[in-house]
């Protein structure tokens, strides 16, 4: 395997050293060419070679990995509210766990590829299969989960983190294979904190190097190599689990002379457009969107280089109309998770708001009206 440093360029052409390890609702793969250029503009105006990078709504981290492909991140700071997701990244980042994780994933993939897939995937209600094993690892009231007790009144608690290496490896491996085999790669927790995505259509988890490469361009790496590359990046990254405020001023100090902040909160849904927003048990309400808009406005006022993306609709546009010092654009995208019944991608528009001018990117500039 070549060294990560050997083959980078910052010309907007994606290479294959790093890419998101998982499929994630709201993943920004489609918006990435634009976001990369926005980060490039931030770099230019900060007169720095590399950025300190902050992404408090990390998910699959499409922009983070792409900026690392181009060696544009000095120190990364990533965060998400979902402990299962963050634990996965921590496990990938840990040299002492990575090989065991890869072995476990291979074992689970073989089991799935050769066995009774429905039974192996399992169900949240019955607490069976991979889904049941995954939930048992994360839920404190283990006995009730084991009994399949689905009492509406029962309060469950999700562990903040897993304590043993064995549990971390188990969880990360299950998280990965559930992402590959669950419906549309979605992650969702029920009110009780159970992962409850049903099985999707996938009938093969592709891990074998040759098998994997057959489906991709020649330059593609194997799944193992993507994990190894991601591991070498993630181990030098600050990874936290919690709500986004913790990573942002005023709660967290950020050096504005060398930092770029990318905010990608859950979609704003209004009557026009109800996208998928419930990643976590807490959900993301209108009041949360207002709060993030207020924080964004403050970051703009305080001179940080910050870009925020969300779906564009009347409600989301209104949120940012208060501040006359921000730059707003609309970009046409088609979303990967929100598909029509016939499987076609829905045409939709993304809203980009920025503390600095992105006119050089020739996007559709918009006027925000209250
Ligand atoms: C639109 S997704 C981000 C997608 C990401 N940019 C990517 O490329 O995959 C929004 C993320 O915010 C996370 N999230 C939801 N509420 C949060 C909160 N209060 N604090 C931090 N993260 C939160 C979700 O778990 C989800 O991963």
In whole angstroms, what is the distance from residue 130 CA to residue 59 CA?
21
What pLDDT is stored for residue 2 in this prediction? Answer: 33
Whether the CB of 81 sits within 6 Å of ligand 1: yes
In the reported structure, the alpha carbon of residue 344 is separated from the centroid of ligand 1 by a whole-number distance in angstroms of 24
Q: Which of 20, 21, 26 to mutate to test the pocket of ligand 1 (most atoms within 8 A of CB)?
A: 26
Q: Of all protein residues, whose CA lies closest to atom 24 belonging to ligand 1?
A: 279
pLDDT in tens, 48-68: 999 999 999 999 999 999 999
The neighbouring-strand residues paired with 77 are 54, 238
Strand intervals (E) in 66-177: 73-80
The CB-based long-range contact list for 286-292 (8 Å cut-off, 24+ gap) reads: 286/315, 289/265, 289/315, 289/316, 289/319, 290/319, 292/244, 292/263, 292/265
| Cα→Cα distances 140→123, 192, 204, 239, 338, Å | 19, 11, 32, 23, 33
What pLDDT is stored for residue 347 in this prediction? Answer: 66
Whether the CB of 57 sits within 6 Å of ligand 1: yes
In whole angstroms, what is the distance from residue 69 CA to residue 257 CA?
23
In the reported structure, the alpha carbon of residue 211 is separated from the centroid of ligand 1 by a whole-number distance in angstroms of 32
Closest by Cα among 55, 65, 57, 102 to 82: 57
Residue with tokens 């009041």: 287
Q: Contact at 8 Å (CB) between 266 and 308?
A: no
Q: Helix, strand, coil: what percent of the chain each, to 5?
A: 40, 15, 45
Q: Of all protein residues, whose CA lies closest to atom 11 belonging to ligand 1?
A: 57
In whole angstroms, what is the distance from residue 356 CA to residue 328 CA?
10
In the reported structure, the alpha carbon of residue 116 is separated from the centroid of ligand 1 by a whole-number distance in angstroms of 33
Whether the CB of 266 sits within 6 Å of ligand 1: yes
Q: Which of 23, 68, 265 to mutate to test the pocket of ligand 1 (most atoms within 8 A of CB)?
A: 265
Whether the CB of 279 sits within 6 Å of ligand 1: yes
Class of residue 333 by CB neighbours under 10 A (exposed 0-12, middle 13-18, buried 19+): buried
Whether the CB of 307 sits within 6 Å of ligand 1: no
State the closest ligand 1 atom to the C-alpha of 283, by its place in the atom list counted from 1.
16
Q: Alpha-carbon Rg of the chain, whole angstroms?
A: 21
The rounded average pLDDT for each run of 10 residues, N- to C-terminus, in the chain (370 residues) is 35 67 84 94 96 97 95 97 97 97 97 97 95 94 60 73 96 98 93 91 84 60 92 98 96 97 91 55 82 96 97 90 92 63 66 96 90
Q: Which domains does the chain have, with CATH numbers?
A: 4-81+242-365 (3.40.50.150), 95-220 (1.10.1020)
């Amino acid at each position: 395997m070549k060294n990560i440093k050997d083959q980078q360029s910052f010309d907007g052409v994606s290479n294959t050293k790093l890419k998101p390890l998982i499929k994630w609702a709201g993943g920004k793969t489609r918006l990435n060419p634009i976001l990369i250029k926005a980060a490039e503009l931030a770099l230019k105006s900060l007169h720095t070679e590399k950025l300190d990078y902050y992404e408090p709504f990390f998910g699959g981290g499409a922009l983070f990995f792409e900026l690392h492909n181009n060696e544009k991140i000095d120190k990364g700071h990533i965060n998400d509210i979902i402990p299962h997701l963050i634990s996965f990244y921590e496990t990938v980042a840990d040299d002492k766990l990575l090989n065991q994780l890869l072995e476990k994933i291979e074992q689970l993939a073989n089991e799935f590829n050769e066995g009774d897939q429905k039974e192996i995937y399992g169900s949240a209600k019955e607490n069976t299969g991979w889904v049941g094993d995954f939930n048992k690892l994360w839920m404190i009231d283990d006995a009730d989960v084991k009994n399949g007790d689905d009492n509406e009144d029962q309060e469950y608690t999700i562990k903040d983190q897993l304590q043993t290496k064995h549990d971390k490896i188990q969880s990360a491996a299950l998280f990965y294979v559930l992402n590959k085999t669950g419906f549309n790669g979605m992650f969702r927790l029920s009110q009780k904190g159970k992962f409850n995505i049903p099985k999707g259509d996938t009938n093969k988890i592709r891990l074998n190097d040759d098998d994997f490469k057959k489906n991709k361009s020649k330059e593609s790496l194997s799944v193992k190599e993507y994990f190894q590359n991601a591991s070498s990046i993630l181990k030098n990254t600050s990874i936290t689990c919690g709500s986004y405020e913790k990573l942002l001023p005023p709660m967290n100090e950020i050096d504005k002379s060398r930092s770029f902040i990318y905010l990608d909160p859950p979609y704003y849904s209004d009557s026009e457009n109800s996208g998928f927003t419930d990643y976590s048990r807490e959900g993301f309400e209108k009041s949360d969107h207002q709060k993030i808009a207020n924080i964004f406005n403050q970051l703009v006022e305080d001179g940080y280089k910050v870009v925020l993306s969300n779906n564009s609709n009347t409600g989301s546009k209104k949120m940012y109309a208060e501040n006359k010092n921000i730059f707003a654009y609309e970009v046409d995208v088609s979303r990967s998770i929100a598909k029509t019944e016939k499987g076609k991608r829905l045409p939709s528009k993304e809203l980009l708001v920025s503390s600095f001018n992105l006119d050089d990117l020739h996007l559709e500039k918009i006027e925000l009206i209250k």
